[in-house]
Structure 1
Amino acid sequence: MNKQSKIFITGASGMVGSAIIRNLLKKGYTNLVGSYHSNILEEHKNLPLKLVQIDLKNQEAVNQFFKTQKPDYVFLAAAKVGGIHANNTYPAQFIHNNLTIQTNIIHAAYENQVKRLLFLGSSCIYPKLAPQPMKEEHLLTGILEPTNEPYAIAKIAGIKMCEAYNRQYGTRFLAVMPTNLYGPNDNFDLETSHVLPALIRKFHEAKLSGAKEVVIWGTGSPRREFLHVDDMAEASVFVMSMTNDAIDEHLTNYPFPCFMNVGTGTDCTIKELALLIKKQVGYKGDLVFDTTKPDGTALKLLDVSRLKKFGWQAEISLEDGVKDTYHWFVSSL
């Protein structure tokens, strides 16, 4: 990518899309177009950024956008996401919305000769009992975790669609599989959020109300890896900026996987995460674990050696990231 390339970021108002926009602007890219579904972020209103309202599930609208705007590069960051509760409650929406969005974008990118596309997936693509840490080669080697299977299948389809277009049409459509993300513009709704933002909100509200305890789903024993979204954005731009020779040799050369894991390479238990957030928030009460609620996958750590070989690794520690995210959450209230 050069600084004048037209770059399309889907899901500009989401946590990942907005982080990618921050990263690109910081690096001096000047021709950015972001899509949003319903709301424009306040932080985007005075930036050198073109925003377009599109329903990405509408194939005609997506095709029209690509025909008129002709982006050179595409970050496919738009998706329906959520934690265990949301995935269990809305499985049909998770598979339908994500399949529809990514199919529309990937095919339109091919038809309009996009130079490179980056599809953002999720570490839930891996089998429930995959060896730890999980390597890219572990994809499709076992059954998925039932609580997020529809979402995972949609993301696997996105990877395979990129791979198929590369094989048949010679495109350079790539993918990155991040671990659990968090940071500014995260979803803090207790009904639909992931564990880290949900805990931030729970502890903050308990602190304000003087509650004696905070109830946490599950046993607290599952281990999870967490990546600050600004590190994710940095990795995404890094991959999109790789040389064509490197991409053609290592990412679009079938049967090599066309994607790379993005994470920190370290994990912690949910209980350890809760204690860290409790400390950052300043909550003085007790933790209670509701063991009638599901834990999800016991272990979910990514092997990040493939991306590390290309020269990238995460820089933001979990403690610093939680502190940053909590401050952002309080300032947004």
Structure 2
Amino acid sequence: MNRFSYMRAGSIEEAVKAASADSSARFIAGGTNLVDLMKYNVERPTRLIDITRLPLNTIEDTKSGELRLGAMTTNDEVAHDPRVQSRYPLLASAILAGASPQLRNAATTGGNLLQRTRCYYFYDTGTPCNKREPGTGCPATFGRNRIHAILGTSEHCIATHPSDMCVALAALEAIIHIAGPDGERAIPMSEFHRLPGDRPEIDTTLRPGEIITAVELPPEDFVEHHTYLKLRDRLSYAFALVSVAAALRMDAGTIVEARIALGGVAHKPWRDPAAEAMLRGHPASTERFAAVADHILRDAKGFQDNAFKIDLARRGIVRALSQAAAGTPQSQTDKRIR
């Protein structure tokens, strides 16, 4: 771990000013990902800006019906908030599918959005990695790649985004609120994370000096018909090989609205609006769900060790949509898939 300076920000404005003055500074809150990265010398910030005292730890209803999650709210606080559980159970379920109770007690909403890939090569500073050191190559494309992406990849990077929470936020079409040197702005969840392209070292569309202040959940909540299905190597404390957040609104057996987001398959939570449109106006059926899965995965590309993910994702999409349509969401306590 490199030497660094430390400051505790007393206001959002102070935090933004400090981050804007030093491009290698990093905000720290729960530290559940950043501290690991620093220990491995993957991240080498010259300054840590402690934001734990900022007034960003509330969950509030807005006048227009949204629910606003402060960036400093912990994963545990969000997952167990009665308003989240009653109005956005998909989000609560996704959070509870991730990490461990100890980590959820520390990890924050803003930090979850910013966590970085768990690619073996990204964490190993003895190997090349375009995400860690641009231009050095991506050994995952020909090396160990069982956990890697099958959608949206480039020759420069095939890493995946590891978050469970973000997959649900993508399906719910959350809005990310930002403060920065140029004032405040809002970013749709679909535009917050990037695909790798030829700049895999850039994970998000945040600008220098900007800080996440809140996540806003729209009133459309999909309470009755939803599921978060996480497929992994073991039943707890493991990242998803494939995860599916499915949310449906139904009327007399016909699908009126549909949202599907995939995790574990790309550099960002994966949405396909055209596939979702294939469900609207149709009755729920395994055949329709299979056609949707085929559409979502039409451009999927497997590598040496992860080609199995394509069929796993196909089966997962069908199972998740079936669970959502039946109103029988996947339990995050009894994790056996039914």
Q: TM-score range by the shorter chain?
A: under 0.3
Normalised TM-score (structure 2)? 0.25
More strand by share: 2
Normalised TM-score (structure 1)? 0.26
